Each structure stands twice: as structure tokens, then as C-alpha cells.
Structure 1
């Protein structure tokens, strides 16, 4: 019986897929999460950012972004659960395929590793030769297919896990940033008396005052009342004059009185000023413009207290000390018609 060995050899010499291919699973996919917002509710030292915003605007914005970030995390958590199911299915598919591929690899070892030529030449005749050639072709084809399916399953697991990790990481990073913004905005509100004093109806930022001169130890030494008071015929300290000039420079140009004869506390010592809410005289706050002027002036003083050497500030029946913060004030005046500031 004549045979056509060239054709059978062509079938028999189809590419064999190396078993070592199983040891090279696909690399995990990487993801570049969106960069979270880095804007801050903290007043900018230059006093430029948020110049036209009230602190209430910043508080609302930071709280809104925080809520949105929390919602995004909740959404990504839901997606995480869905992706976890997909991961489980992909892993199950992989686990089913591994025994099949191992079985094919074992069969290849028993056949293909003997050498294609010796395997075929060991046939008992032309029919057996043809059967073995076809068998070897089928083994290699099936081997290729199963290996391909296995690597697709592994790649799906890795890609899915990478996408899951990237999504969760991005959302958690954004939530952390938004939580920090919210905390900073809340802290900024607390610094200037909280919602009870200003209700956020105050400039989001204040201009930065030039620092008053300090002594060699970095502190503020006591000063005598030796400088002419530009608001009265009395005297003030050099530090009080510096504060007066910085407040004016910051745009607060309503009526102000500093030195006052007689009485206790800092006015007779030239270490205090009362800043009115109007151009002349004193009148209790009775409209939004006056209240905001007082709020903004108070905020400027408190935010710059360390630079200016401020001892305490009184505004709208509240008193602020750098060391203790805000407390109710029960003096003779409720200070709803002016902002009082005393210096060290």
C-alpha cells in the first residue's frame, strides 16, 4: 500500500506549545486614578485665594465635596462587590481549566517528548502511522486551545483585580482629601468664633499683616505709651501703632479710637483700640453690611494675632484669647457696635 509521508509529516510537525508557558501568567493591569481635588478651605497666607468668598461659601463647598466623595466611595464599593464576583468566576474558570491543561501536558509528555519522528516511526503500518499523526495534531491543537483559555482566564483575573484596586484607591484618596478640606474649613470657622458668632458670614481669607518687631527671644516685650495716637490726642505704644497701620492697610477704614484716659485695662496704656462699624461714632450693628464689617475685621485680627502681638479680641459679646479661644463676654458693653483689640 502506497503512502504519502510528506503530508503525514506536515501534520505531525505542527507547533508544540511548551508546558513552561503555564508559568507565565499575565501581568496585572495598572490604572492611573484621577487626581483628586487639592483646593483647601484654609485661608491662603497671601490673602488672594477666595478673596470674594465668604467662609460660609467655603464651608458649603467643602461639605458638598465631602458628601460627593463619600457617595463616590459608596459607589465604588458597590462596584467592588460586583468585580469580586467576576474575579471569583474567573478564578473558578481557571481552576477548572488547570486540571485539563495538566492532563494534556501529561499526554504530551508521554507522546510528544518521545520525539515526533520516533513516535511516528514506531507505527505498525500505514494506517497506524496516519492515526498517530492525526492524534498528535489533535493533541497539539487541543493543548494550544486550552492554554489560550487558561491564560485568558488568568489575564481576566489580574486585569479585574487591578481595575478594582485602582478604583478603590482613587476614591479613598479623594475622600481623604475632601475630609481634610472639610476639617480645615471647620477649623477655620472655629478659629473665628464658630457658626454662633459669624454664621460663616465673613471673608474666607484675610490679608496677611506685616509682623510686629519682636525681642531677641522671639517674644513681645512690654512697651511704654510713647507714640502719638493718630486717633486721639493721647499716646499709644509702637506695637499699637503698627497694628493700627496694618488694619488700615487691610482696608478697614471706619472710625477708630485707641487711647482713653482713666479706667483699667489697656486703653489708658495705649495698648488697645476700638474699631467702629461706621464712618463716625459708634452704633450697634443693625444691618448685614455692618455685621460683616465687624466679622471681617475680627477675623483679620484673630488670623494675624501672632504676627501682631494681640492679647485678646472682643466682638459681639464674645472674647477671644490666643491660648483659650472664644468665650462669652459679660462686660459693661456687649461690643456689638465695635471690635475691641488689646495688645501685649
Structure 2
């Protein structure tokens, strides 16, 4: 059937397009001694510009929303395919039944009122044959009505499948547009720098730990959240429940070095309670991370990327690189060339 072939090919394409918990109690935040812990990145010193971060925020949110809509449509498509198989099977059975009734009527002639009267030998016989006539007519009528109803259901199901195909193509187009938006914003920001800086290769950290997923709506999307729970890090302030889950899951996976989340000033997600900075060094936010500290940061960034879908990650920034759900790792040069704006001393995590 044409619809089956079309939906089969599209489902395979969608799977290709998409090819993108621990339950233990969270470990408390480890704060380094005041004498060695340096101040957290302050103000608006997160690299890039407010305009760039606004573009990245909108692009990643739009991409994630479209991805959720695509997944909903794909699930609906599968349900409709199963439904179509069922109603087509019913259609075959009912068509066969109606065909049998038509065949019998053709061979023997339908039992009508005149034949019932002529072939009855008494008033009682006439009533008996009239009752038989009513029974047969009722059965034939029911079978015909069931056949027509099933045909209509097949038509509606095929139409719904066609609509889902249109919806999936639309969401794939939106995802591609949002991907281009993020990458174009990064290119514009890089070209605006007076002196291009050397960039590092994408982090090569490994992490096999799985995080517990943040709560979702029944349709798979993330609910909107406000800065409504206390920030347990030394930064104080507030964070969102989803950011708290990401923080707790990160610590439960063994990444327990100094971390700071809420900041009242600047742009980006920190003032909204949707971002945390995870120090790569044991002593806090210092100079460029090297050696084991660099490896720690690589593995921490890899943990966030591996669990991006579970945690609702908008982006991860580490060592002059930014990871986006739409594009993977891309170059991200800092605004001032220092360890904080270059993110060479901490991993920045922003969540939806």
C-alpha cells in the first residue's frame, strides 16, 4: 500500500535525523578552603555577548521543542499504522461477509414479503416467515453498515497518517532552521573578534554514568519552571527544580568539586537559575585547567552531553568549545581571553 511504503521510508529518515538514573542521594557540594578557593566568574563574564547567548538560548530551546514535537508525531504515526492494520483486517473480513450474503441472495433470491405470503400455508406460517424475513434483513443491514463504517475509519486513519507526515516534515525543517540559527550566531560572534584566538579540539572525556531524568509533561516536553528552589551552592540565591536535578545528578555521578550556580547580575541563564559553573580544579576557579584537572573537566562535560536529553541541556561550554543539542561541539572563543570567559577553568551548564 502506498501509505505504508511512504510512512516506512519517512520513519527511517526520521530515525536518522534524530541520531542525537542514578537513584542514590546527591553528594553535598564540596567547598574548598577559603584560602585556596578563588571567586566564581562574576558579572557578565561568561564569554561571548548577551546577544550571542540570547541567540543560543532561543535556538536550543526551539530545537528541543521541535524535537519533542517530532517524537510525539512519530509515536502517533506508529499508533496510526497499528490502527490501520487492524481496520484493514476488519474491512477484509466484513467485505467477505457481505460478499457471502450477496452470493446467497443471487443464488436463492432474497426472502421478501410476497414470497413469504405465497409460501405460507396458514396465518401462523405467514407470521413465522415474516419473523424470519425481519431477522435476515436486520443481519444484512447490520453487516452493510459495519462495512461502510470500517471503510470510513480506514479513510480517516489514512488521512491522519498523511497529516502526521506533514507535521514531521515541518518539525524537521524547524530543527534545521534552529541549528542554522545557532551556528550562524557563533560564526558572527567569531568574525566580530578583533584577533581570532586559537581554539581547542572538542573535549575527549568519557562518562558512562546515566542521570535520572528531570520530570516531563505527559507529551514528553519539559514544563516551564521558575527560579523557585534554594540554590544549595555557596552562591545562594535560587535555581529551577530542573537545574537542581542536574546539579544533584552531576554530584551523584562523582563530580563533587566546587560549583556555583545563581548570580544576580548579567545576562544568560545564571540570573534565571538555569545555569551552574562547575570548577575543574579542586581549589575552585583558578587558571587554565591542565593535567588531571583538564581530564576532570573533559569527563564532566562528557557526562552532561551523554545525559543531555535526560537533564534538558540547552548547552555546555568548556575549554573554548560549546556543545549544542543541534550541532554538537563548536568553537566558542571568550570575550576577554581569560580563564573564566574562555571556560578553561570551569564547565558551564545551562538547562531548559
Using the size of structure 1 for normalisation, the TM-score is 0.41
Q: Which has the higher contact order (CA 8 A, sep 6+)?
A: 2
Using the size of structure 2 for normalisation, the TM-score is 0.41
- The structure with the larger Rg is 1
